[in-house]
Structure 1
Amino acid sequence: MIVEQQTDREALFQPLRIRGVELRNRIVMSPMTRGFCPDGVPAPNVAAYYGRRSEGGAGLIVTEGIAVDHPAAVGDAGLGEDNIPLLGNAASVDGWRKVVAAVHAHGGKIIPQLWHQGAMRKPNTGPHPHVPSVSPSGIWGPLGRMTSIDPKSIPADPRIGEAMGEAEIEGAISAFVRSAVNAVDAGFDGIALHGGHGYLLDNFLWEGTNQRDDKWGGSRARRSEFPAEIVRRIRAAIGEDLPIFFRFSQWKQQDFRATLADNPDELREVLQPLADAGVDVFDASVRYYNRAAFDGDSASLAGVAKRVTGKMSMAVGGVGINSGMYDRDKPAAVVSDFGPLLERFKAGEFDLVAVGRAMIGDPHWARKFREGQPTEPYRMDADNILS
């Protein structure tokens, strides 16, 4: 058993500079879809929601997934098709400008998670229902795998359309860049890209959805070329001062047991092109942060990502809570033993700690964690309210 020392928590409250942005501490609010943006525009209650987490001590907030300015970016995510936030038109940019101001007012920083659902977008839904969904090879993913997706939402045929052509690929890349530029205009402190969970960027990374044999597919490095090109173009568009975060995951919604890599060397093949393109922080999305990523290696996925790329990394997955995101049959309870988390941080495995559902449950989680105070629990009905 790892015994937590009183001073260990304070290590997470040291500032961290990433390019030209200084975070006051290492506690991050993890991105979590909320769906409270009518017509894609965040209302005052969204600004107040994120502002409370900044007031509660979070050093950095990564917003819920924000649809990039592409007609096939998002559809029904189970939260109302018209409530997924956008970052395209003037109204949405102005709405996010107010959110940024609310976070900055309490000393926190905030970056948007740019999101394209790719193969996971439900057909005939979203702001542009008649536009077909896109994926690199026109494939949803292999069927019959372990998943929590409602069977009614799984296609009968894994092929959902045609492979993306060059014009479609260029259109998707341009959409990410436009949205990143809009984010900077709104005052965000950097950019986060959602490259996991079976969405578009992950569709290119994963061989289950990318079966191309051109420059956008084949080897792991070539499958990384599409998101790497997005990173390069965003870096060129926003300049050198703002950080770029990249979320990746082994698991996919289509297949919980899927992997991008089965050992550290293979993970280097996946991530190095992204690191070279300009990613500053790898957000390693796992269900349980404290599990070893590979056999024979005790490091977490965040730890391996940091080791093989030399870039910063962020741990996420069940911090402050005793169940994984998809363990719906297991009530989520507050965790008070942070010894394993602090031990891994002290060992240098990761630079940032992202807190998800625990921070939905308690907007002052960061402050209470620092002071050793009990926190409020996450409740399932919190998914339907914005508090």
Structure 2
Amino acid sequence: MSAPGSAGPALFRPITVRGLEIRNRVWVPPLCQYSVTARDGVPHDWHLVHLGAMAAGGAGLVVAEATAVSPEGRISDHDTGLWNDAQAEAWSRITRFIRSQGAASGIQLAHAGRKASVWPEPMRRRGSQPLDEGGWPTVSASAVAFDGYREPLALDEAGIARVIDDFRSAARRAVEAGFDLVEVHAAHGYLVHQFLSPLSNLRDDRWGGSLENRARLLLEIVRAVRAEIGEEMPLFVRFSATDWVPGGWDEDQTSVVVAWAKDAGADFFDISTGGLVAAADIPVAPGYQAHFAEYVGEHTEAAVSAVGRITDARHAERLVAEGRADAVMFGKAMMRDPHFAMRAAHELDAGTSMWPPQYLRARPEHNDGEW
């Protein structure tokens, strides 16, 4: 992992993770679009424009949305996938464009577990989809339903082995599709998080009980993915650092498992929170999750990114400059303004050269300094 240099704003210093140099610390997190019109998991023009605009807008890293490693792992039937070659080929068009704009591309590999088979946005309030309306049976660590959803089937040994192999195969296709890095989704109440949290994992076998057992699925996935992507490609893991519920998953357990995941081959940790319990009381405010990234980074010496209502360039600059995070993920801010990174560079006087040549005549220095 490269150390920050001394020149210019910290948010716009490059960072190197394994063999990949990323031009700045303004990153796009996975943002589910629920926009696969053919319902076959294949990304299309919307994904090219959505992700490509953020790359052209100056982001250092653009991570594609939670992408299912199997059909039954989708959140909804409008989700993208990476379980077949047609999907990989469609993604390759998108990664080529992102790279052409100077940004790095990542993909979040995911399995929704008990939170699968739900109506896509904006129909989510209807809960899980009935099986006779396009839904499918769901799986989890234990037969414990998410609030308002159908009861899942507890995975047996063969089912767990299939999940690990599905992540392995999807990772191989991610390489073939031209992604620069892979992220394993272990957050937001989805399958890997369901195994991690004692609130959803009630097993008494080698996949449940102790923290080591509850973390076993994640660590096996990390090892499998690392074996597929080789030694040069970075491997990220996204964690929810807390369930926001007493007796649930928390930042101390996260820190222990982050250290284990580093040993298993992961490089960088994308720290979010919540998602396992529907009724959790979450004190949402600007930067409300950033201190969890700082906590994990301090306790593990791992590289971490912060996310969560961070919309101000100077706020993000402080997080990186003070060593509280190595990068910042901007979700809704990027959706509102795909050129947020260029705007932030202007506000911080970064003097970067990341503007697309087609837009150079609109640079502030060419227009009396006004954005």
Structure 1 residue 222, shift from structure 2 partner: 1.9
Amino acid at match of 2:342: R
Gaps of 5+ in 1: 1-6, 144-152, 294-298, 321-334, 374-387
Residue equivalent to 1:26: 25
Contact 2:194 2:201 in 1 (8 A): yes
Distance in 2 between residues matched to 1:164 and 1:229, nearest whole Å: 15
Aligned residue runs from structure 1 range 40-51, under 5 A = 40-51=41-52
Choose the corresponding residue for 1:110, options 102, 105, 112. 105
Amino acid at match of 2:83: G
Residue equivalent to 1:290: 287
Contact 1:27 1:59 in 2 (8 A): yes
Deviation string, structure 1 residues 110-157 (Cα, Å, up to 9, x no partner) = 11111111011136569995752110112125x5xxxxxxxxx445xx
Distance in 1 between residues matched to 2:131 and 2:94, nearest whole Å: 23
SS, match of residue 72 in structure 1: helix
Aligned residue runs from structure 1 range 185-200, under 5 A = 185-200=176-191
Aligned residue runs from structure 1 range 131-150, under 5 A = 131-141=136-146
SS, match of residue 72 in structure 2: coil
Amino acid at match of 1:372: E
Range 124-133 or range 48-57, more displaced: 124-133
Change beyond 3 A, Cα 1:316–1:75: closer
Per the normalisation by structure 1, the TM-score is 0.77
Structure 1 residue 344, shift from structure 2 partner: 2.8
Residue equivalent to 2:245: 257
Residue equivalent to 1:3: none
Distance in 2 between residues matched to 1:348 and 1:126, nearest whole Å: 49
Amino acid at match of 2:63: V
Change beyond 3 A, Cα 1:140–1:274: farther
Gaps of 5+ in 2: 1-5, 118-127, 274-283, 349-371
Structure 1 residue 45, shift from structure 2 partner: 3.1
Structure 1 residue 310, shift from structure 2 partner: 2.1
Q: What's the RMSD between the two structures over aligned residues?
A: 2.5
Residue equivalent to 1:380: none
Distance in 1 between residues matched to 2:43 and 2:229, nearest whole Å: 23
Residue equivalent to 2:360: none
Distance in 2 between residues matched to 1:290 and 1:75, nearest whole Å: 26
Distance in 2 between residues matched to 1:106 and 1:34, nearest whole Å: 22
Structure 1 residue 308, shift from structure 2 partner: 2.1
SS, match of residue 154 in structure 2: coil
Residue equivalent to 1:175: 166
Amino acid at match of 2:260: P
1:97 aligns with 2:92: yes
SS, match of residue 9 in structure 2: helix
Equivalent pairs, count: 321
Distance in 1 between residues matched to 2:132 and 2:111, nearest whole Å: 13
Change beyond 3 A, Cα 1:44–1:340: closer
Aligned residue runs from structure 1 range 231-246, under 5 A = 231-246=222-237
Contact 2:29 2:330 in 1 (8 A): yes
Residue equivalent to 1:372: 347
Structure 1 residue 275, shift from structure 2 partner: 1.9
Residue equivalent to 1:165: 156
